[in-house]
Amino acid sequence: MPYQNMSLENFAKHVGMDAREVRRLADRGELPCEKVGGEWRFNRARTTEWLQQTMHNFDHGRLVTLERAMGGGVSDMLVTDLIGLAGVDPALSANTRGSVLRELVNLADRTGLLYDPKGLLTALEQREAMCSTALPQGVAIPHPRQPMPYVSAEPLVCVARLARGIWFGSSDRQLSHLFFLICCHEDRQHLRVLARLMRILDGDMIARLLEAETQNDILELLIAKERVVAASE
């Protein structure tokens, strides 16, 4: 890993924020940082966790800026290139948070890309125990706390739907119906995929995904939406 701790200026560049805004937020105690020798220092792992937990509150412009800061082009198909039809399930049967995670790992295993399903499941369970990955509007995005390049042949995203919904810990107290399992191989790709998902999953898109009838319908909706999102900066 290139560095464990970042200066305020490096943190601002890393997350695509203005350094003056970073200083204001740090002074108010709203960022994952501590003072060392009178200067703010930002731990890389804690920064990733902070982004994961707060990104759903970012506006469109800030999400685009974050995608750029993480490298690569904003016109890339970051999410749907990682979703295969075998990794889409419109009808989960789970009835507990634990069984949701198990079914998601089984779904990922059906893609033929997983080396270590048990390792991935353990990582997902540990992440949920630390802090729920549920978002408002009935969506959850389970993912390991850190990238896991050794559990899969390629980075992957799986999509699943649970018709009756389940309590997954969202801040708006809604049941979660849509689940996006993310398993990336490196930190920056993981954050880019998360930022892109935040741009894709507006209220209208969530409603359409809940109404979609088949695997193909779900995947085609996501591809069409990502094309629009990728073209709009």
Domains, the chain, in order of start with CATH, read 5-57 (1.10.1660), 80-231 (3.40.930.10)
For the chain, the residue count is 233
Write down the pLDDT at residue 1.
41
pTM above 0.85, yes or no: yes
Per-residue pLDDT tens digits for 48-89: 888 877 888 888 888 888 888 887 665 688 899 999 999 999
Return the pLDDT at 172. 86
pLDDT of residue 152: 95
61 CB contacts (<8 Å, ≥6 apart)? none
Residue in the block written with tokens 């701790």: 5
* Per-residue confidence (pLDDT) for residue 63, from 0 to 100: 87
Distance CA 191, CA 76 (A): 14
Contacts of 105 (CB under 8 A, 6+ apart): 114, 117, 120, 121, 124, 181
Cα separation of 106 and 61, whole Å?
36
Strand-strand pairing, 176-183 and 139-140: parallel
Tell me how far apart the terminal alpha carbons of the chain are, to the nearest angstrom.
30
CB distance 216 to 85 below 8 Å = yes
Identify the residue with better confidence: 67 or 100. Answer: 100
Q: What is the pLDDT of residues 102-135, one digit of tens each?
A: 999 999 999 999 999 999 999 999 999 988 999 9
pLDDT tens for each residue of 157-206: 999 999 999 999 888 889 999 999 999 998 888 989 999 999 999 999 99
Instruction: Say which residue, 91 or 187, is predicted with more confidence.
Output: 91
Q: How many CA atoms lie within 13 A of 91 on its CB side?
A: 3
**For strand 134-135 and strand 139-140, is the pairing parallel, antiparallel, or unpaired?**
antiparallel
**pLDDT tens digits, 199-227:** 999 999 999 999 999 999 999 999 999 99
What is the spatial distance between Cα 101 and Cα 145, in angstroms, rounded to a whole number? 14
Between CA 149 and CA 131 the distance in angstroms is: 22
Binning pLDDT at 50, 70 and 90, where does residue 144 land?
Answer: very high
